[in-house]
Chain A
Amino acid sequence: NAGVTQTPKFRVLKTGQSMTLLCAQDMNHEYMYWYRQDPGMGLRLIHYSVGEGTTAKGEVPDGYNVSRLKKQNFLLGLESAAPSQTSVYFCASGENWDYTEAFFGQGTRLTVV
């Protein structure tokens, strides 16, 4: 049981380049989330999905797009990377927060130069 898997684990981009981060979960969870973590800022929610085919904006959605075409996958896209998007990105999945926790991937460390 792999849980939540993120690919890639590390990436360096040049300003203006695009890339897609992939998150895959094998727990049949309805909800999936993308967070970014910056020093001293904790985790901030970028986008989330409450089911296949749905997406919604979180706290810091600008510069990112997402898609949830399959229940097990949640993709985060950067169309034109900027240095301000240098961060560690975490994907999480879960069910109803009333009774269960979030499961996190190991993170993707992205540097935009």
Chain B
Amino acid sequence: SQQGEEDPQALSIQEGENATMNCSYKTSINNLQWYRQNSGRGLVHLILIRSNEREKHSGRLRVTLDTSKKSSSLLITASRAADTASYFCATDAGGGNKLTFGTGTQLKVEL
């Protein structure tokens, strides 16, 4: 079964608005990563947050991690049409260096 589950499954917003995606996972982790996938392409790494970190920023991205709730959120501020993509969280549960992905959130940013 999937380690991570994203919420919502799909999100449609206007350009300039903020987009928030959530990820829940089931077991303890060493770190959590977020990836972006444009249609028909491979996944591209966005940001990594370790289990002892609570918040991390990278440009217009802000990631939070709550290990007590086994959840993470990805906030994209001032969204652009180019942010239209699917976003996945991935966790390393610490055994065998396996990276397990969630089901993804499809984000559509309209002009």
Contact = CB atoms under 8 A, between A and B. Distances in A.
Nearest to B92: A97
B31 A98 contact: yes
A92 interface: yes
A contact residues, range: 20 to 34
Contacts of B41: 106-107
28 contacts: A33-B98, A35-B101, A41-B103, A42-B2, A42-B4, A42-B104, A45-B98, A45-B99, A50-B97, A56-B96, A58-B98, A59-B100, A90-B43, A92-B43, A92-B99, A94-B99, A97-B30, A97-B92, A97-B99, A99-B48, A100-B48, A101-B48, A104-B42, A104-B43, A104-B44, A105-B42, A106-B42, A107-B40
Interface of A: 4, 31, 33, 35, 40-45, 48, 50, 56, 58-59, 90, 92, 94, 96-107
